[in-house]
Structure 1
Amino acid sequence: MTSASSLPAEKPAVAPPVLWWLRLEGLAVAALAVVLYARTGASWWLFAVLWLVPDLSMVGYFVDPRLGANCYNAIHSYLLPITLAVAALSFQRAALPFVLIWFNHIGVDRLLGYGLKYPTAFGHTHLTEPRRLQAPRQHAPQK
């Protein structure tokens, strides 16, 4: 098993056409979540206010890139919202609008290419290449 620091930072984990399928999958999840949210009768103000809440998971990056990636990935994978959706459907349907907002957020992120993060760099995800900071080019002196 390789360590996270030995992962290649130059390339995304997936490339076209798989990348396109994953983005389309994000679109499908986002669209379904909006349609189901509309059927709950919940306020669209609630949707707007809570839509960015999952991004609060990025505060872990202030402590350490590994912690930041772990926090971000825990909130931006489908595992927790699926678990909460099952609980909401089984016990407390009032939580369903919150779950659907969460699904929509993750789906839109995937559609836009924001994937699960590697601890090597904030911009290094399973869907994108990390953005490199390039040093300014030195110009040859004029003769």
Structure 2
Amino acid sequence: MKIRKMIALEYLIAFLGSVFFYWYFEFSFLYFFLLLFLPDITMVGYIVNTRIGALFYNIGHSLVVPAILLTIGFITVSTPLLMATIIWLAHIFLDRMLGYGLKYDDAFTKTHLQQIA
């Protein structure tokens, strides 16, 4: 199996896992579908230039912030935070499954996933 296909499969499983947990916690799927692509608002930085665009996009598409918020959501038992964070993670996993990785600052189309053989 090619490495890119294996990575896509991993992210598909992660996406399905996030959908499962969203369902398990009985959150509204209306919100899920309405908010799934909200993290793409981070592309607004590209209006300024590719460096700022990549920075904003990568902040919105890195797993670090959602992982921290997910932990806080579990500790505080915050339903809105858990719901939003699971949607955010699902978005990231869906993007990565489709081959959209973190951006390099020299071009919108150049991502970390493209650097993998």
Give me the TM-score of the superposition, normalised by structure 1.
Answer: 0.75
Cα shift at 1:18 = 3.0
Cα shift at 1:22 = 2.1
Runs of 4+ in 1 over 6 A off after TM superposition: none
Give the whole-Å Cα distance in 1 for the aligned partners of 2:78 and 2:25: 9
**Partner residue, 2:65:** 80
Give the whole-Å Cα distance in 1 for the aligned partners of 2:42 and 2:7: 22
Greater Cα radius of gyration, structure 1 or 2: 1
**Structure 2: 5+ residue runs without aligned partners?**
none
Summarize the alignment of residues 55-94 of structure 1 with structure 2, pairs less than 5 Å apart. Answer: 55-94=40-79
**Structure 1: 5+ residue runs without aligned partners?**
1-15, 130-143
The match for 2:112 among 116, 121, 126 is 126
Summarize the alignment of residues 1-143 of structure 1 with structure 2, pairs less than 5 Å apart. Answer: 17-94=2-79, 95-128=81-114
Cα shift at 1:21 = 2.7
Report the RMSD for the aligned CA atoms in angstroms. 1.5
Percent identity of equivalent pairs: 38
Amino acid at match of 1:43: S
Give me the TM-score of the superposition, normalised by structure 2.
Answer: 0.91
**Partner residue, 1:3:** none
CA displacement, residues 59-115 of structure 1 (integer Å, 9 cap, x when unaligned): 000011111101111111111110000000001331111111111111110110001
